[in-house]
Amino acid sequence: MLQIIIQGRGGQGAQTAGNLLAMAYFAEGRHVQAFASYGGARRGTPVSSFLRVDDRPVRLRCDIERADAILCFDASLLQGALLAAAHSETVIVVNSARSAGDFREALPGYRVIPVDGLAISRRQGLGRIVNSALLGGLACAVGDPPLAVLENLLREESPKLRAENVAACTEGYRTVESLLQQAAS
């Protein structure tokens, strides 16, 4: 079972990203459990989205305490309870212009992959909307769902700027692909 935590601030799109990711896994024929925590439920407060994905029905009904992957929309949230849910094998994809080396120094023992979702989104004409770029980065880092599944989903589900969302997702995916290749060599 794959367990994913998505953390952001109200208004950043973490809930939307969780819903889109759940739909992508469901489109693959996987069993998905998705739920959210809104805290103060106002703009700027921390919000979380949780997903469990498996090839068989998901019957577990509790919070995710040990995540396989974390997608963090705001690097300032990489602390406390969020990091407590990570272990040495957890893949952490974070929206940040900082380098992977910066995160290795700041958070030793964690596998942090930075994706400058804001720069990608701006290049693709999406302004500050980073969901698609970060989803592409997470999919590459985790190895699932396939990029083609995410691209098709964004073509169908994006309320507007569909081509731009697909391009941002692809660029986020390719960014992480490049980072992983550099780390392997």
Bridge partners of 4, per DSSP, are: 51, 69
Contact in structure between 27 and 61 (CB atoms under 8 Å): no
The Cα–Cα gap between 78 and 15 comes to 17
Task: State the pLDDT at residue 39.
Answer: 62
pLDDT under 70 in the chain at which residues? 39-42
Domain boundaries, the chain: 2-184
Tally Cβ neighbours within 10 Å of residue 54. Answer: 16
Question: pLDDT, tens digit, for every residue of 125-165?
Answer: 999 999 999 999 999 999 999 999 999 999 999 889 999 99
User: In the prediction, which pLDDT does 158 show?
Assistant: 87
Indicate the SS3 state at residue 16: helix
Global confidence as pTM:
0.94
CATH of domain 2-184: 3.40.920.10
Is there a contact between 169 and 135 (Cβ–Cβ < 8 Å)? yes
- Looking from the CA of 185 toward its CB, the CA atoms found within 13 Å total 6
Tell me what pLDDT residue 116 has: 98
Nearest Cα residue to 168 out of 43, 9, 13: 13
Closest-CA residue to 180 (of 146, 140, 150): 140
Q: Is the dihedral of CA 144, 148, 149, 152 positive or negative?
A: positive
